Structure 1
Amino acid sequence: MEIPAYIWYTSALILGLCLGSFYNVCVHRYLTGESIVFPGSHCPHCKYKLSWWENIPIVSYVILLGKCKSCSAPISPRYIIIEALSGLLSLLLAMQFGLSPEYFIYMFFMGLLIVASFIDLEIFILPDIITLPGALLALAASFFLPIPWQDALLGALLGSGFFLLLQRAYRIIKKIEGLGSGDIKLMLMLGALTGWQGLPILIFTAAASGLAASLYFLKKSDSGSMQTPVPFGPFLAMGAVIYILWGEAIWQWYLG
């Protein structure tokens, strides 16, 4: 019996929102060094233990007006952003791939990318515990995705190799680090997920959006010089997501 589309889409949205709540725990507790299992959900300021109704994705944030019920300390908007982003990506994947193995595989990697990206935004680190196992799992996933394992392997090697060359060239020319090793490791995973065919769209999207963000911060800077470093990992992740969702359509449009 086929599940009606509206039920599947609604279920995927709810699943994504709930997973987003878990991703928030992963991000916060990686930053604080706490276990993701113990203790239970609590306010990071006063340690107040949250009730079940205070853990409902997005809804609780709105009801609480973005403040802790106990101490009124502000709740970071990161929480609602991650939940909304996770829900949206789940819905888009459900619409693109339906109720299929591809949906669940890509959802797993979306979780890794969300957690890694928001950690990178906070402390400019892409954790090895996410990128390296993620790269191996992405290569293994190629046996269940419409990407030949040879293309996945080539995508991983070319993607990470290209960024390794960029890192070395920038270091030689500028005498400073301009690209973190975490981005190189992330490209192992992203290249395997998209295959070598996805690298042009992935890299172009990441470069264009990263440049736009850099120009925005440059414009906001009073001194007229870049004062706020911009992590590149989230833009690479966004490029991969765009290719996974719409890469085939983009190539068909480009090729006429």
Structure 2
Amino acid sequence: MNPLNLAWGAAFALLGMVFGSFSSLLSYRLPRDLPVGMTRSACPSCHHVLAARDLVPLLGYVFQHGHCRWCQKAISRRYPLMELTCALLFVVAFMAFGASLSGVLFAGLSFALLVVVVSDLETYIIPDTMVILVGVLGILWRWKVVPGFGDAFLGALLGGGLTLGLRALFLLLRRKQGLGLGDVKFIAVAGIWLGFEALPWLLVLGGSFGVVFGMAWQARNRLCRKKRTSRRKLPSYFPFGPALAFALYLLVLIQQRGYPWF
């Protein structure tokens, strides 16, 4: 790798850490309807407002040895893990698309998907703000990178319409929800990125990942039931958003390799 590419890669990684810190904030506050920009970050245990040096991505966690400097309670590992993950995702965006508009848009998609995954895992909610962001980025992608607004419109219409119909049918037959509205909206905006021809692959891959993830989720629940002393029943359903997000991420990458069947 030449020095210029190395510098660009480092810039994407640093930017990814910054956005990773923001993603940890959004994934916690958005699904809980907490204000995003009106309050300063604080320790969730003692509620002491954090200083600027405490908010430096990754380094803040390292310098504090993973504990709040005031109450000494352990800081959740979700924060450094999300910062590191987002940095890696931004580097992948640079390696796949270079320092270009495509790279920036794909990095933005990666950031939004990370928030979707963590929010859905923790709260079973896909924030509408992130769905809108994925949709807006998809429109820009279709405008500047992969032209085809007609294909994008059909993808969104069929994706949202088909899954909404399946959701209604499942509710009618089983008297319970099989697919959340957040998943329906996410599939609709994913159709903007992929177009209607690749939409079946999103459902196939998302469903396949969902089966694997669901099995792991059930195994985790069984393990938790054995260890926990409370009799509160753990939910048997699992969030489908992470499987859909992973499928969309992979399909956008694969499409750029020029495989026509995707």
The interval holding the TM-score normalised by the smaller chain is 0.7 to 0.9
- The DSSP-based 3-state class of the residue aligned with 1:68 is coil
Q: RMSD across aligned C-alpha pairs, in angstroms?
A: 2.7
Query: What's the counterpart of residue 237 of structure 1?
Result: 245
For 2:20 and 2:89, locate their aligned partners in 1 and report how far apart those are by CA, in whole Å. Answer: 10
**Does residue 99 in structure 1 map to residue 111 in structure 2?**
no
Query: What's the counterpart of residue 59 of structure 2?
Result: 59
From the superposition, tell whether residues 200 and 62 of structure 1 become closer, same or farther in structure 2 (CA, over 3 Å).
farther
From the superposition, tell whether residues 198 and 65 of structure 1 become closer, same or farther in structure 2 (CA, over 3 Å).
farther
2:253 partner amino acid: L
**CA-CA distance at 1:77 after TM superposition:** 2.1
From the superposition, tell whether residues 238 and 147 of structure 1 become closer, same or farther in structure 2 (CA, over 3 Å).
farther
**CA-CA distance at 1:81 after TM superposition:** 2.4
From the superposition, tell whether residues 74 and 173 of structure 1 become closer, same or farther in structure 2 (CA, over 3 Å).
same
Q: Deviations over 1:107-151 (max 9, x none)?
A: 223222222332222221122233246435523541112241112
**CA-CA distance at 1:246 after TM superposition:** 2.7
**Does residue 114 in structure 1 map to residue 122 in structure 2?**
no
In the TM superposition, what are the counterparts of 1:77-92 in structure 2 within 5 Å? 77-92=77-92
Q: Conserved in 2, the CA contact under 8 Å of 1:92 and 1:245?
A: no
For 1:86 and 1:11, locate their aligned partners in 2 and report how far apart those are by CA, in whole Å. Answer: 13
2:63 partner amino acid: I
From the superposition, tell whether residues 56 and 181 of structure 1 become closer, same or farther in structure 2 (CA, over 3 Å).
same
Residue 246 of structure 1 is aligned with which of 216, 238, 254?
Answer: 254
Q: Conserved in 2, the CA contact under 8 Å of 1:45 and 1:73?
A: yes
In the TM superposition, what are the counterparts of 1:88-237 in structure 2 within 5 Å? 88-132=88-132, 134-136=134-136, 138-220=138-220, 221=222, 227-237=235-245
Query: What's the counterpart of residue 8 of structure 2?
Result: 8
**CA-CA distance at 1:66 after TM superposition:** 2.5
Segment drifting more, 29-38 vs 98-107? 29-38
Structure 2 unaligned residues grouped into runs of 5+: 227-232
TM-score (norm 2): 0.85
For 1:173 and 1:143, locate their aligned partners in 2 and report how far apart those are by CA, in whole Å. Answer: 41
Structure 1 unaligned residues grouped into runs of 5+: none
**CA-CA distance at 1:18 after TM superposition:** 0.8
Q: Conserved in 1, the CA contact under 8 Å of 2:16 and 2:88?
A: yes
Name the % identity: 27
